[in-house]
Protein backbone atom coordinates (compact mmCIF):
# COMPACT_ATOMS: atom_id res chain seq x y z
CA UNK A 1 0.00 0.00 0.00
CA UNK A 2 1.43 3.37 -1.04
CA UNK A 3 1.62 5.95 1.76
CA UNK A 4 1.50 9.58 0.69
CA UNK A 5 1.04 12.32 3.24
CA UNK A 6 0.38 15.81 1.91
CA UNK A 7 3.39 18.11 1.87
CA UNK A 8 3.37 20.71 4.64
CA UNK A 9 3.11 24.38 3.79
CA UNK A 10 6.03 25.14 6.10
CA UNK A 11 8.85 23.09 7.56
CA UNK A 12 10.77 24.09 10.69
CA UNK A 13 13.89 22.40 9.28
CA UNK A 14 16.12 25.23 8.05
CA UNK A 15 19.33 23.40 7.17
CA UNK A 16 20.32 21.37 4.11
CA UNK A 17 23.39 19.24 3.47
CA UNK A 18 24.43 18.69 -0.15
CA UNK A 19 26.93 15.98 -1.09
CA UNK A 20 29.20 17.35 -3.83
CA UNK A 21 32.63 15.84 -3.27
CA UNK A 22 33.03 13.24 -6.00
CA UNK A 23 35.27 13.50 -9.05
CA UNK A 24 32.52 12.06 -11.28
CA UNK A 25 34.51 10.22 -13.92
CA UNK A 26 31.30 9.28 -15.75
CA UNK A 27 30.67 12.92 -16.64
CA UNK A 28 34.06 13.37 -18.26
CA UNK A 29 35.12 15.28 -20.30
CA UNK A 30 32.82 17.88 -18.73
CA UNK A 31 34.47 17.32 -15.35
CA UNK A 32 38.09 17.17 -16.46
CA UNK A 33 38.56 20.86 -15.71
CA UNK A 34 35.67 21.56 -13.34
CA UNK A 35 33.81 19.80 -10.51
CA UNK A 36 30.39 18.46 -11.42
CA UNK A 37 28.49 21.14 -9.42
CA UNK A 38 29.94 23.73 -11.82
CA UNK A 39 28.72 22.09 -15.04
CA UNK A 40 27.01 25.02 -16.78
CA UNK A 41 23.27 24.81 -17.47
CA UNK A 42 21.68 27.87 -19.07
CA UNK A 43 24.59 30.02 -17.97
CA UNK A 44 24.41 28.95 -14.32
CA UNK A 45 26.19 26.08 -12.56
CA UNK A 46 24.27 22.90 -11.81
CA UNK A 47 24.60 23.64 -8.09
CA UNK A 48 22.96 27.06 -8.53
CA UNK A 49 19.81 25.40 -9.88
CA UNK A 50 19.69 23.14 -6.82
CA UNK A 51 20.22 26.05 -4.43
CA UNK A 52 17.50 28.02 -6.22
CA UNK A 53 15.00 25.29 -5.32
CA UNK A 54 16.02 25.67 -1.66
CA UNK A 55 15.67 29.47 -1.67
CA UNK A 56 13.45 30.51 1.24
CA UNK A 57 13.11 26.89 2.37
CA UNK A 58 16.38 26.79 4.34
CA UNK A 59 18.64 29.36 5.93
CA UNK A 60 21.86 27.31 5.85
CA UNK A 61 23.44 24.87 3.40
CA UNK A 62 26.46 22.75 4.27
CA UNK A 63 28.30 21.58 1.17
CA UNK A 64 30.46 18.47 1.37
CA UNK A 65 33.19 19.12 -1.18
CA UNK A 66 36.31 17.33 -2.36
CA UNK A 67 37.28 17.29 -6.04
CA UNK A 68 38.29 20.83 -7.09
CA UNK A 69 36.66 22.16 -3.94
CA UNK A 70 38.35 25.55 -4.24
CA UNK A 71 36.57 26.19 -7.54
CA UNK A 72 33.17 25.64 -5.91
CA UNK A 73 33.95 27.92 -2.98
CA UNK A 74 35.38 30.59 -5.28
CA UNK A 75 32.25 30.54 -7.44
CA UNK A 76 29.66 30.59 -4.65
CA UNK A 77 31.39 32.17 -1.66
CA UNK A 78 29.67 32.03 1.70
CA UNK A 79 26.25 33.46 0.84
CA UNK A 80 23.97 32.60 -2.07
CA UNK A 81 20.76 34.60 -2.46
CA UNK A 82 20.76 35.24 1.27
CA UNK A 83 21.39 31.60 2.19
CA UNK A 84 24.47 30.92 4.31
CA UNK A 85 26.88 28.44 2.72
CA UNK A 86 29.36 26.34 4.68
CA UNK A 87 32.01 24.02 3.25
CA UNK A 88 33.29 20.78 4.75
CA UNK A 89 35.95 18.78 2.91
CA UNK A 90 35.80 15.05 2.43
CA UNK A 91 39.47 14.13 2.27
CA UNK A 92 38.89 10.54 1.16
CA UNK A 93 35.96 10.10 -1.20
CA UNK A 94 34.73 6.62 -0.32
CA UNK A 95 30.96 6.64 -0.30
CA UNK A 96 27.88 8.67 0.49
CA UNK A 97 27.72 7.61 4.15
CA UNK A 98 31.32 8.69 4.59
CA UNK A 99 30.47 12.01 2.92
CA UNK A 100 27.64 12.64 5.36
CA UNK A 101 29.77 11.62 8.32
CA UNK A 102 32.28 14.42 7.70
CA UNK A 103 29.65 17.02 8.69
CA UNK A 104 29.33 15.55 12.18
CA UNK A 105 30.01 18.40 14.57
CA UNK A 106 28.89 20.92 11.95
CA UNK A 107 25.21 19.96 12.04
CA UNK A 108 23.28 19.81 15.32
CA UNK A 109 19.69 20.09 14.12
CA UNK A 110 17.25 18.46 11.68
CA UNK A 111 18.38 18.75 8.07
CA UNK A 112 17.58 17.82 4.51
CA UNK A 113 20.14 15.72 2.69
CA UNK A 114 20.52 16.04 -1.08
CA UNK A 115 22.89 14.80 -3.74
CA UNK A 116 24.65 17.55 -5.66
CA UNK A 117 24.14 16.03 -9.12
CA UNK A 118 20.36 15.95 -9.50
CA UNK A 119 17.95 18.68 -10.52
CA UNK A 120 15.16 18.37 -7.97
CA UNK A 121 11.89 20.10 -7.17
CA UNK A 122 11.40 22.23 -4.09
CA UNK A 123 8.06 20.60 -3.26
CA UNK A 124 9.65 17.15 -3.05
CA UNK A 125 12.22 18.41 -0.55
CA UNK A 126 9.54 20.06 1.55
CA UNK A 127 7.42 16.91 1.50
CA UNK A 128 10.06 14.92 3.39
CA UNK A 129 9.44 17.15 6.40
CA UNK A 130 6.32 15.15 7.31
CA UNK A 131 8.25 13.17 9.93
CA UNK A 132 11.57 12.94 11.73
CA UNK A 133 13.12 10.40 9.37
CA UNK A 134 11.78 10.44 5.86
CA UNK A 135 12.90 10.12 2.27
CA UNK A 136 11.57 10.79 -1.18
CA UNK A 137 10.62 7.92 -3.46
CA UNK A 138 10.57 7.94 -7.25
CA UNK A 139 8.37 6.09 -9.70
CA UNK A 140 10.49 4.94 -12.66
CA UNK A 141 10.02 2.43 -15.45
CA UNK A 142 13.43 0.79 -15.11
CA UNK A 143 14.56 0.26 -11.52
CA UNK A 144 17.72 -1.69 -12.29
CA UNK A 145 20.03 1.31 -11.97
CA UNK A 146 18.55 2.50 -8.66
CA UNK A 147 18.40 1.66 -5.04
CA UNK A 148 14.90 0.26 -4.48
CA UNK A 149 12.84 0.87 -1.35
CA UNK A 150 11.64 -2.13 0.61
CA UNK A 151 8.41 -0.93 2.24
CA UNK A 152 6.56 -2.77 4.99
CA UNK A 153 3.35 -1.40 6.55
CA UNK A 154 3.92 2.03 5.08
CA UNK A 155 7.49 2.53 6.25
CA UNK A 156 10.87 1.97 4.62
CA UNK A 157 12.81 -0.97 6.05
CA UNK A 158 15.85 -0.90 3.79
CA UNK A 159 17.10 0.01 0.33
CA UNK A 160 18.07 -2.77 -2.07
CA UNK A 161 20.92 -1.59 -4.29
CA UNK A 162 20.24 -2.12 -8.01
CA UNK A 163 18.34 -5.42 -7.78
CA UNK A 164 18.28 -7.51 -10.96
CA UNK A 165 14.60 -8.38 -10.50
CA UNK A 166 12.91 -5.53 -8.63
CA UNK A 167 9.31 -6.19 -7.57
CA UNK A 168 6.60 -4.65 -9.81
CA UNK A 169 5.54 -1.19 -8.68
CA UNK A 170 8.58 -0.72 -6.45
CA UNK A 171 9.90 2.78 -5.81
CA UNK A 172 13.40 4.12 -6.39
CA UNK A 173 15.68 6.21 -4.18
CA UNK A 174 16.16 9.69 -5.74
CA UNK A 175 18.48 10.95 -3.01
CA UNK A 176 16.26 13.35 -1.01
CA UNK A 177 16.18 12.73 2.75
CA UNK A 178 15.14 14.32 6.03
CA UNK A 179 17.34 13.44 9.02
CA UNK A 180 18.52 14.92 12.30
CA UNK A 181 21.81 14.96 14.20
CA UNK A 182 21.06 11.60 15.84
CA UNK A 183 22.03 9.79 12.63
CA UNK A 184 25.74 10.42 13.21
CA UNK A 185 26.28 7.71 15.84
CA UNK A 186 24.67 5.23 13.44
CA UNK A 187 26.93 6.38 10.60
CA UNK A 188 29.96 5.45 12.66
CA UNK A 189 28.75 1.83 12.75
CA UNK A 190 28.53 1.40 8.98
CA UNK A 191 31.07 -0.94 7.43
CA UNK A 192 32.37 -0.90 3.84
CA UNK A 193 30.21 -2.55 1.21
CA UNK A 194 31.43 -5.04 -1.38
CA UNK A 195 32.51 -2.01 -3.43
CA UNK A 196 34.70 -0.85 -0.57
CA UNK A 197 32.49 2.17 0.06
CA UNK A 198 30.45 3.37 3.02
CA UNK A 199 26.89 3.39 1.68
CA UNK A 200 24.17 5.77 2.81
CA UNK A 201 21.61 3.07 2.01
CA UNK A 202 22.94 1.10 5.01
CA UNK A 203 21.95 4.01 7.25
CA UNK A 204 18.28 3.57 6.31
CA UNK A 205 18.29 -0.07 7.43
CA UNK A 206 19.96 0.86 10.71
CA UNK A 207 17.49 3.66 11.44
CA UNK A 208 14.54 1.42 10.57
CA UNK A 209 15.46 -0.96 13.39
CA UNK A 210 14.46 1.62 16.00
CA UNK A 211 12.49 4.31 14.18
CA UNK A 212 9.80 4.72 11.55
CA UNK A 213 11.36 5.84 8.28
CA UNK A 214 8.65 7.39 6.16
CA UNK A 215 8.57 8.10 2.47
CA UNK A 216 6.85 10.47 0.10
CA UNK A 217 6.45 9.94 -3.62
CA UNK A 218 7.99 12.64 -5.81
CA UNK A 219 5.45 14.88 -7.51
CA UNK A 220 7.94 17.16 -9.24
CA UNK A 221 10.81 16.84 -11.70
CA UNK A 222 13.94 14.79 -11.07
CA UNK A 223 16.81 15.04 -13.58
CA UNK A 224 20.09 13.23 -12.87
CA UNK A 225 23.36 14.53 -14.31
CA UNK A 226 25.47 11.39 -14.38
CA UNK A 227 27.03 11.64 -17.83
CA UNK A 228 27.38 14.27 -20.59
CA UNK A 229 24.16 13.22 -22.33
CA UNK A 230 22.22 13.63 -19.10
CA UNK A 231 23.77 17.09 -18.76
CA UNK A 232 22.40 17.88 -22.22
CA UNK A 233 18.98 16.60 -21.13
CA UNK A 234 19.15 18.79 -18.02
CA UNK A 235 19.90 21.79 -20.21
CA UNK A 236 16.99 20.89 -22.52
CA UNK A 237 14.65 20.51 -19.54
CA UNK A 238 15.57 23.89 -18.12
CA UNK A 239 15.04 25.40 -21.56
CA UNK A 240 11.64 23.73 -21.90
CA UNK A 241 10.56 25.26 -18.59
CA UNK A 242 11.07 28.67 -20.22
CA UNK A 243 8.71 27.88 -23.10
CA UNK A 244 5.86 30.05 -21.81
CA UNK A 245 7.98 33.04 -20.83
CA UNK A 246 8.18 36.25 -22.79
CA UNK A 247 11.12 36.95 -25.03
CA UNK A 248 13.87 38.94 -23.31
CA UNK A 249 16.21 40.88 -25.58
CA UNK A 250 18.92 43.19 -24.27
CA UNK A 251 18.72 46.71 -25.67
CA UNK A 252 22.43 46.43 -26.52
CA UNK A 253 21.83 43.45 -28.82
CA UNK A 254 22.43 44.06 -32.53
CA UNK A 255 19.88 42.15 -34.57
CA UNK A 256 19.48 42.34 -38.35
CA UNK A 257 16.15 43.71 -39.49
CA UNK A 258 15.19 40.52 -41.32
CA UNK A 259 16.25 38.11 -38.57
CA UNK A 260 13.34 35.89 -37.48
CA UNK A 261 13.05 35.41 -33.71
CA UNK A 262 10.18 33.37 -32.30
CA UNK A 263 9.22 31.86 -28.98
CA UNK A 264 10.70 32.28 -25.51
CA UNK A 265 14.12 33.59 -26.47
CA UNK A 266 16.55 35.32 -24.11
CA UNK A 267 19.21 37.31 -25.92
CA UNK A 268 22.05 39.17 -24.25
CA UNK A 269 24.47 41.63 -25.84
CA UNK A 270 24.70 39.56 -29.01
CA UNK A 271 25.09 40.20 -32.74
CA UNK A 272 22.67 38.36 -34.99
CA UNK A 273 23.12 38.44 -38.76
CA UNK A 274 20.74 38.90 -41.66
CA UNK A 275 18.32 36.10 -42.44
CA UNK A 276 19.10 34.20 -39.28
CA UNK A 277 16.27 32.36 -37.55
CA UNK A 278 16.16 31.72 -33.80
CA UNK A 279 13.49 29.38 -32.46
CA UNK A 280 12.72 29.38 -28.75
CA UNK A 281 12.99 28.39 -26.11
CA UNK A 282 16.59 29.44 -26.53
CA UNK A 283 19.20 31.34 -24.53
CA UNK A 284 21.81 33.48 -26.29
CA UNK A 285 24.47 34.98 -23.99
CA UNK A 286 26.56 38.14 -24.12
CA UNK A 287 29.17 38.73 -26.82
CA UNK A 288 27.68 35.97 -28.97
CA UNK A 289 28.12 36.47 -32.73
CA UNK A 290 25.75 34.62 -35.06
CA UNK A 291 26.39 35.08 -38.76
CA UNK A 292 24.19 35.39 -41.83
CA UNK A 293 21.55 32.79 -42.66
CA UNK A 294 21.98 30.68 -39.53
CA UNK A 295 19.42 28.67 -37.58
CA UNK A 296 19.49 28.33 -33.79
CA UNK A 297 16.71 25.99 -32.68
CA UNK A 298 15.99 25.33 -28.98
CA UNK A 299 19.60 25.65 -27.93
CA UNK A 300 21.84 27.42 -25.43
CA UNK A 301 24.73 29.58 -26.61
CA UNK A 302 26.77 30.82 -23.69
CA UNK A 303 28.83 34.00 -23.61
CA UNK A 304 31.34 34.52 -26.38
CA UNK A 305 30.06 31.82 -28.75
CA UNK A 306 30.65 32.38 -32.48
CA UNK A 307 28.46 30.72 -35.13
CA UNK A 308 29.48 31.48 -38.70
CA UNK A 309 27.35 31.99 -41.80
CA UNK A 310 24.89 29.30 -42.81
CA UNK A 311 25.32 27.04 -39.79
CA UNK A 312 22.46 25.22 -38.08
CA UNK A 313 22.41 24.57 -34.31
CA UNK A 314 19.62 22.30 -33.05
CA UNK A 315 18.89 21.05 -29.52
CA UNK A 316 22.46 21.76 -28.42
CA UNK A 317 24.46 23.50 -25.71
CA UNK A 318 27.49 25.57 -26.71
CA UNK A 319 29.79 26.56 -23.84
CA UNK A 320 31.79 29.71 -23.20
CA UNK A 321 33.74 30.82 -26.24
CA UNK A 322 32.80 27.84 -28.42
CA UNK A 323 33.29 28.36 -32.15
CA UNK A 324 31.31 26.89 -35.05
CA UNK A 325 32.56 27.45 -38.59
CA UNK A 326 30.51 28.21 -41.69
CA UNK A 327 27.91 25.81 -43.16
CA UNK A 328 28.01 23.43 -40.18
CA UNK A 329 25.27 21.23 -38.77
CA UNK A 330 25.27 20.70 -34.98
CA UNK A 331 22.47 18.50 -33.62
CA UNK A 332 21.84 17.35 -30.04
CA UNK A 333 25.44 18.08 -29.12
CA UNK A 334 27.43 19.63 -26.27
CA UNK A 335 30.42 21.83 -27.11
CA UNK A 336 32.33 22.55 -23.93
CA UNK A 337 34.32 25.70 -23.17
CA UNK A 338 36.40 26.86 -26.12
CA UNK A 339 35.60 23.89 -28.36
CA UNK A 340 36.01 24.65 -32.09
CA UNK A 341 34.25 23.12 -35.07
CA UNK A 342 35.68 23.72 -38.56
CA UNK A 343 33.74 24.78 -41.64
CA UNK A 344 31.19 22.34 -43.08
CA UNK A 345 31.51 19.91 -40.18
CA UNK A 346 28.47 17.77 -39.52
CA UNK A 347 27.65 16.75 -35.96
CA UNK A 348 24.62 14.69 -36.89
CA UNK A 349 22.46 13.09 -34.20
CA UNK A 350 20.47 9.88 -34.16
CA UNK A 351 18.18 8.16 -31.74
CA UNK A 352 19.71 5.34 -29.69
CA UNK A 353 16.97 2.80 -29.00
CA UNK A 354 18.91 1.20 -26.14
CA UNK A 355 19.01 4.46 -24.18
CA UNK A 356 16.34 4.65 -21.50
CA UNK A 357 16.41 7.92 -19.61
CA UNK A 358 15.40 7.65 -15.95
CA UNK A 359 14.72 11.38 -15.69
CA UNK A 360 11.25 12.61 -14.76
CA UNK A 361 10.76 15.77 -16.81
CA UNK A 362 7.06 16.19 -15.99
CA UNK A 363 6.31 15.53 -19.65
CA UNK A 364 8.36 18.49 -20.88
CA UNK A 365 10.82 16.35 -22.85
CA UNK A 366 9.97 13.58 -25.28
CA UNK A 367 11.82 10.35 -24.40
CA UNK A 368 12.90 10.16 -28.04
CA UNK A 369 14.60 13.54 -27.70
CA UNK A 370 16.45 12.39 -24.58
CA UNK A 371 17.69 9.31 -26.45
CA UNK A 372 18.96 11.34 -29.41
CA UNK A 373 22.70 11.99 -29.28
CA UNK A 374 25.04 13.94 -31.50
CA UNK A 375 28.59 14.68 -30.32
CA UNK A 376 30.18 15.83 -27.07
CA UNK A 377 33.33 17.90 -27.52
CA UNK A 378 35.48 18.44 -24.45
CA UNK A 379 36.97 21.81 -23.56
CA UNK A 380 39.13 23.32 -26.33
CA UNK A 381 38.78 20.29 -28.60
CA UNK A 382 39.23 21.31 -32.26
CA UNK A 383 37.24 19.44 -34.87
CA UNK A 384 38.63 19.92 -38.41
CA UNK A 385 36.67 21.20 -41.38
CA UNK A 386 34.25 18.71 -42.96
CA UNK A 387 34.56 16.39 -39.94
CA UNK A 388 31.61 14.05 -39.38
CA UNK A 389 31.95 12.14 -36.10
CA UNK A 390 29.71 9.17 -35.48
CA UNK A 391 26.54 10.04 -33.55
CA UNK A 392 27.11 9.39 -29.87
CA UNK A 393 30.80 10.28 -30.01
CA UNK A 394 32.45 11.80 -26.94
CA UNK A 395 35.71 13.49 -27.88
CA UNK A 396 38.19 14.30 -25.13
CA UNK A 397 40.84 17.04 -25.15
CA distance 32 to 30: 6
Q: How confident is the model at residue 226 (pLDDT cuts 50, 70, 90)?
A: very high
Q: Would you say residue 231 lies in a domain?
A: no
Q: Would you say residue 109 lies in a domain?
A: yes
* Residues of the chain above pLDDT 70, percent: 98
Mean predicted confidence (pLDDT) in 205-213: 92
146 and 97, same structural domain?
Answer: yes
182 and 249, same structural domain?
Answer: no
- In the chain, how many domains are there? 2
Mean predicted confidence (pLDDT) in 325-332: 98
Q: How far apart are the first and last CA of the chain?
A: 51
Which tens digit of pLDDT belongs to each residue from 309-320?
999 999 999 999
Mean predicted confidence (pLDDT) in 199-221: 92
253 and 201, same structural domain?
Answer: no
Cβ(120)–Cβ(19) below 8 Å: no
Q: Would you say residue 252 lies in a domain?
A: yes
Partners of residue 176 on adjacent β-strands: 114
Mean predicted confidence (pLDDT) in 18-37: 94
Q: What is the pLDDT of residue 143?
A: 78
Q: What is the pLDDT of residue 119?
A: 97
Q: Would you say residue 75 lies in a domain?
A: yes
Q: Would you say residue 3 lies in a domain?
A: no
243 and 221, same structural domain?
Answer: no
pLDDT above 50: residue 1: no
Cβ(135)–Cβ(179) below 8 Å: no
Q: What is the pLDDT of residue 277?
A: 98
User: 247: which DSSP letter?
Assistant: P
pLDDT above 60: residue 3: no
360 and 330, same structural domain?
Answer: yes
Mean predicted confidence (pLDDT) in 5-12: 73
Q: The CATH number of the domain where 326 resides is what?
A: 2.160.10.10
Tell which of 226, 255, 281 closes a domain. 226
CA distance 282 to 296: 8
Mean predicted confidence (pLDDT) in 367-378: 96
209 and 115, same structural domain?
Answer: yes
Cβ(331)–Cβ(314) below 8 Å: yes
Q: How confident is the model at residue 95 (pLDDT cuts 50, 70, 90)?
A: confident
180 and 248, same structural domain?
Answer: no
CA distance 282 to 233: 14
Cβ(120)–Cβ(174) below 8 Å: yes
Which tens digit of pLDDT belongs to each residue from 262-290?
999 999 999 999 999 999 999 999 999 99
CA distance 384 to 378: 14
Tell which of 176, 191, 226 closes a domain. 226
Give the domain range for residue 252.
239-395
302 and 202, same structural domain?
Answer: no
Tell which of 184, 200, 226 closes a domain. 226
pLDDT above 90: residue 24: no
245 and 214, same structural domain?
Answer: no
Q: What is the pLDDT of residue 4?
A: 57
Q: Would you say residue 1 lies in a domain?
A: no
Three-state secondary structure along 96-132? HHHHHHCCECCECCCEEEEECCEEECHHHHHHHHHCC
168 and 69, same structural domain?
Answer: yes
Across all residues in the chain, what is the average pLDDT?
A: 93
* Residues of the chain above pLDDT 90, percent: 80
pLDDT above 80: residue 194: no
Q: Would you say residue 193 lies in a domain?
A: yes
Q: Would you say residue 70 lies in a domain?
A: yes
Mean predicted confidence (pLDDT) in 56-62: 96
Q: How confident is the model at residue 120 (pLDDT cuts 50, 70, 90)?
A: very high
Q: The CATH number of the domain where 129 resides is what?
A: 3.90.550.10
191 and 57, same structural domain?
Answer: yes
Q: How confident is the model at residue 167 (pLDDT cuts 50, 70, 90)?
A: confident
CA distance 350 to 21: 34
Least confident of 37-41, 193-197, 215-219: 193-197
CA distance 42 to 317: 8
161 and 265, same structural domain?
Answer: no
What is the Cα Rg of the chain in Å? 22
Q: How confident is the model at residue 178 (pLDDT cuts 50, 70, 90)?
A: very high
Amino acid sequence: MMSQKPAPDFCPTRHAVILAAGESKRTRPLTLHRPKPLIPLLGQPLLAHILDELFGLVDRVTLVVGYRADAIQERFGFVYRGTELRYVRQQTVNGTASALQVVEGHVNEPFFLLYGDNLIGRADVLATCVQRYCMAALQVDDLRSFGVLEIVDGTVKRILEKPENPPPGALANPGIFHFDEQVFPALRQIRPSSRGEYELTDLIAMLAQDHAVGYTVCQNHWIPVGNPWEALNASAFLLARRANLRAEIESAATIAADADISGAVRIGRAQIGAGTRIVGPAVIGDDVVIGVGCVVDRSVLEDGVVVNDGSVIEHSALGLGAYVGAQCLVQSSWLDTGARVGDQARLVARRFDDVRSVADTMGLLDPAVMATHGTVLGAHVELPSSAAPEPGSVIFP
